[in-house]
Amino acid sequence: MTEARDCASPGSANNYLGALMNEQDVRRMIEGVKAGRLGRRSFIRRMMAVGIAAPVAAQILTHSGVAMAQGASTYKPTKAGGGGTLKVLWWQAPTLLNPHFATGTKDQDGSRIFYEPLAAWDPDGNLKAVLAAEIPSRENGGLAMDGQSVTWKLKPGVKWHDGKPFTADDVVFNWKYASDPATAAVTAGSYKDAIVEKVDDLTVVVKFPSPQPFWADAFVGATGQIIPKHLFENYSGAKSREAPTNLKPVGTGPYVFRDFRPGDLVLGDRNPNYHIPNRPYFDSIEMKGGGDAVSAARAVLQTGEYDFAWNLQVEDEVLQRLERGGKGKVRLTQGAGCEHIQLNNADPWTEVDGERASTKTKHPSLTDPAVRDALNLLVDRKSVQDHIYGRTGIATANWVNNPPRFVSNNTSYEFNIDKASDLLEKAGWKKGADGIRAKGDVKLKYVYATSINQPRQKTQAIVKQACAKAGIEIEIKSVVASVFFSSDVANPDTYPKFYTDLQMYNTGPGRPDPGVWMQMFLSANANNKVNKWQGRNPMRWANKEFDETHAAAEAELDPVKRVALLIKCNDIVIKHRAIIPVVYRPGVSGTSNKLIAEVSGWDSNFFDLASWYMQA
């Protein structure tokens, strides 16, 4: 019943630069890149040789004032249109199309068909200009020497789908909209501490209260999509959920809105006035939702009915069998997704001031460290990897699993029912006649929720079986994915509400830096009725040491010290069992053999949708 493993990484901060390279070596190499003596790719290869991932190496260059690389385009079509309909499957279907309210990848990706950020993250962790004319750097004057401001120059001639010009006013509006607490935007964490000012119609400056080591957050990537001021300004703050455009987007993207059936279908037509020449290739896009991951995989890999399928959370044995159908292939994309179990710190069964799981309550048993430690010992990660996920889910004890530089080697995982039972016994949780442990009138009985999906139900079963042997009763709750990941504030079964004891899902940073992602554990971000349960912290977890360490990391400009602080953040989360990591999950998608589609693990699946095409 015992299985243990250390989670060490050759790229963690403890051996960053290691014996093979010291800080002076790195600084000489950076100067070599600046002077043209050393190629950017050579620098990145040398950094990777000592365990530093390509995205992080790219960030080191950017922080040092070296402009990000803009890779040569491999796009082959010589004119826009003519490609017919691009058919894609998202078995967790979008429920709204406003990126500021996107509680899950499905809503971010659905929005990304129509909306765009200033810049996107490519698979190597480089920034790629989208609505920006260029990526800010020290060389072009976009990055201030003191690290307290970033100047973005906007691409001229861009128009919204209704013909109105895209300007700096739209960018400033998005900052005001997202940072207004009454809006309750899930993107608030990216904007609330900044000040955005218009310089002219095509220039904005983002100012920070202190030097920012990771400035590429606001207006960047999946959470940086920009909505039009002229259609949303009358629906800001408390009226934000009433905007008709939440369901009928008007963006700048490659496709113009045609139809949306929440939880089912998104339709778009080629934007004839798109701001990038000869794009998009397809005449229209059909984003079909619903069903399940196995059906989605079959439709691309075996039958060829669809061109692309997202998030194939399917047992690896099944994926391999479907691939033999010959119509498509499985693609693994390196990112930092973590399938994990959350433990509720509030009491989901007690209502205070009209609110369940209020931060004014404490969970009657999950606030006991012995119970949390026992539950951690009762998750058989290795079995989940070996018998369910295979190559698509790697057992882990860490919250942060990529890039390697940020991965802690201070953690380990262990599966040990006897040890868990002993912990509970010593903490006073005694087995009753029914076999369930209790202390006073509090029993160790939990409702454990996740979305309906075969690997997740199998994971629930593995955990339930182990818990039963230790004297913990688990009730399984499986919720339709479109409901569980919905942003509907009236629905009690969504993960942001977290009205159960335990819940499980996958999430990742969406950028090659975990700093913003780890805002999920800040006490100030606890989900509640006031912020419409969009606070990023559904566990309602609070830890002063974590708050202080995270604040120090976000103000630390020295990249080595900052990495060490973020690793410490990870270690605090793991030590106190804020969550229980299960498996690290790279992105898994299915692509038809003829579709050319670049997908990034650091951004929306549609980060470069305009450049997707079919080869002959």
**Domain co-membership, 409 together with 279:** no
User: What's the pLDDT band for 5 if we cut at 50, 70, 90?
Assistant: very low
For residue 104, pLDDT over 90 is answered with no
Q: For residue 161, tell me if it sits in a domain.
A: yes
Q: For position 268, what pLDDT does the model report?
A: 98
- Enter the DSSP assignment of 66: P
**Residue 4's pLDDT is what?**
41
Do 305 and 339 belong together in one domain? no
Identify the three-state secondary structure at position 203. strand
- Quick one: pLDDT at residue 138? 87
Q: Tell which residue, 458, 430, 425, has the closest CA to residue 442.
A: 430
193 inside domain:
yes
Tokens read off for 435: 């076999």
263 is in which domain, residue-wise? 85-327+593-614
pLDDT of res. 10: 33
Beta-ladder partners of 85: 284
**Boundary (domain end) residue, out of 63, 96, 111:** 63
69 domain-assigned: no
Predicted pLDDT at 295 = 95
Q: 418 and 388, same structural domain?
A: yes
pLDDT digits (tens, 9 = 90+) for 292-337: 999 999 999 999 999 999 999 999 999 999 999 999 999 999 889 9
Residue bearing tokens 């182990």: 466
Asked if residues 392 and 586 have their Cβ atoms less than 8 Å apart, the reply is yes
Query: pLDDT at residue 64 above 80?
Result: no
Q: Given this model, what pLDDT does residue 131 score?
A: 98
| Residues 109 and 22 both lie in one domain | no
Per-residue pLDDT tens over the stretch 403-426:
888 999 999 999 999 999 999 999
Residue 71 forms part of a structural domain: no
- Is pLDDT larger for residue 8 or for residue 269? 269
Q: Strands, E, within 229-323: which ranges?
A: 255-261, 265-270, 284-289, 308-309
Distances (CA, A) of 416 to 339, 379, 389, 399, 448: 20, 9, 21, 21, 20
Residues 94 and 236 in one domain: yes
Pairing of strands 473-479, 442-443: unpaired
| 31-67: b (≥16 Cβ within 10 Å) or e | eebbeeebebeebbebbeebbbbbbbbbbbbbbbebb
Alpha-helical segments (H) within 101-186: 105-112, 168-179
Q: What is the pLDDT of residue 57?
A: 66
Residue 291 confidence (pLDDT): 86
Q: Which long-range contacts link 459-465 to residues 24+ away (Cβ below 8 Å)?
A: 459/339, 459/384, 459/388, 459/504, 459/582, 460/504, 462/379, 462/380, 462/383, 462/384, 463/341, 463/378, 463/379, 463/380
74 in a structural domain: no
**Does residue 8 have a pLDDT over 60?**
no
Same domain, 8 and 25: yes
Average pLDDT on 550-576 reads: 93
Q: Are strands 473-479 and 445-451 parallel, antiparallel or unpaired?
A: parallel
Type and span of the H or E element at 373: helix 369-377
Instruction: Please list, residue by residue across 221-244, b when 16 or more beta carbons sit within 10 angstroms of its beta carbon and e when fewer do.
Output: bbbbbbbbbebbeebbeeebbebe
In a domain, 396, yes or no: yes
One domain for residues 196 and 126: yes
The domain that holds 512 is classified in CATH as: 3.10.105.10
Both 415 and 278 in one domain: the answer is: no
Query: How many structural domains does the chain have?
Result: 3
- Mean local confidence (pLDDT), 220-237: 96
Nearest CA to 542 out of 367, 348, 356 is that of 367
107-111, 126-130, 209-213, 356-360: segment of lowest average pLDDT: 209-213
Q: What is the pLDDT of residues 9-63, one digit of tens each?
A: 333 444 433 433 455 666 677 767 766 667 666 676 666 555 555 556 666 666 5
Give yes or no: residues 572 and 426 share one domain: yes
pLDDT-derived band at 397, boundaries 50, 70, 90: very high
72, part of any domain: no
Task: Assess whether 574 and 442 both reside in one domain.
Answer: yes
Rounded Cα distance, 423 and 416, in Å: 11
Q: 295: domain CATH number?
A: 3.40.190.10
As beta bridge partners, residue 585 has 337
Residue 123 lies in a domain: yes
> Is the pLDDT assigned to residue 206 strictly greater than 80?
yes
Residues 603 and 552 in one domain: no
Q: CA dihedral defined by 461, 463, 467, 472, rounded to 10 degrees?
A: -80
Same domain, 160 and 294: yes
Q: Mean pLDDT, to the nearest integer, of 167-172?
A: 98
Query: 152-166, 476-490, 517-531, 578-592 — which is least confidently predicted?
Result: 476-490
| Element holding 56 (H helix, E strand) | helix 54-63
Specify the higher pLDDT residue, 147 or 448: 448
Q: CA-to-CA distance for 59 and 512, rounded, in angstroms? A: 8
In the predicted model, what is the mean pLDDT of the chain?
A: 90
